[in-house]
Amino acid sequence: MLALHGGVAEHVAALAAVGAEPSEVRAPDDLAGLHGLVLPGGETTTLRLLAPRGGLLPELRGMVAAGTPTFGTCAGLIALADVVDGRREPLVGGLRIAVRRNAYGRQTASFEAPVDLPSIEGDPMVGVFVRAPRVVSVGDGVEVLALLGGDPVAVRQGHIWATAFHPELTPDRRLHAAFVEDARAWALPLPTESGEPGGVRVRA
Ligand code: GLN
């Protein structure tokens, strides 16, 4: 759980509620042994100022590139996006999407809307959008989990999950549960050639 800034406590509560053991990351040492990363919402501008301190960014980039399950919400989605506002200068990057920050206009800067995620069982989720980014294009291997008004608002690329809305701000834990299940599966020991568990995951 990247804890430099933003909606940290809400994600910690949501993760704990689905049986994960969240810990807060403020420095590279805090990353040791994690089986997943959550990048919360907040302000990308602030995150851009804070994240380079202490050398966290290269570590985060390496973990995402190595396939560590990662979940970004709102500013977290922006941090993961490879292209932001037309520039290929990602904060963390690794997610093949292009986004435009604050692109829902003034009247609808913040709003709630039902978000239907066909891969998640049950009723649509309540999407809380707070000065949300608009996903303007998705690249190869990016699965669109939900659309709103024709725009992707939840995407998945392998073990990278990202939403333009804030699932941590509602009591609905289904997305956190799905992410944690993915992270648990990823953390299982890999089989060796003999079929026994005990393989070693190699970081890129
Ligand atoms: N508007 C913010 C940004 O561009 C994101 C808002 C959020 O995370 N709720 O960074």
For residue 163, name the pLDDT band (cuts at 50, 70, 90). very high
182 closest CA partner among 156, 163, 164, 153: 156
Cβ neighbourhood burial of 192 (10 Å; 0-12, 13-18, 19+)? exposed
Segment 68-82 mean pLDDT:
97
99 lines ligand 1 (CB under 6 A): no
Residue 89 has phi, psi (to 5 degrees) of -130, 70
**∠ CA 45-87-98 to the nearest 5 degrees?**
90
Residues in contact with 23: Cβ distance below 8 Å, sequence separation at least 6, in sequence order: 1, 30, 34
Structural domains of the chain, with CATH: 8-187 (3.40.50.880)
Residue 164 has phi, psi (to 5 degrees) of -80, -15
pTM score: 0.92
Return the percentage of the chain with pLDDT > 90, whole number: 78
Quick check: 6 pLDDT over 90?
Answer: no
Mutate to test the pocket of ligand 1, among 102, 111, 153 (most ligand atoms within 8 A of CB): 102
Tell me what pLDDT residue 18 has. Answer: 96
Tell me what pLDDT residue 48 has. Answer: 87
In angstroms, what is the span from residue 3 Cα to ligand 1's centroid? 15
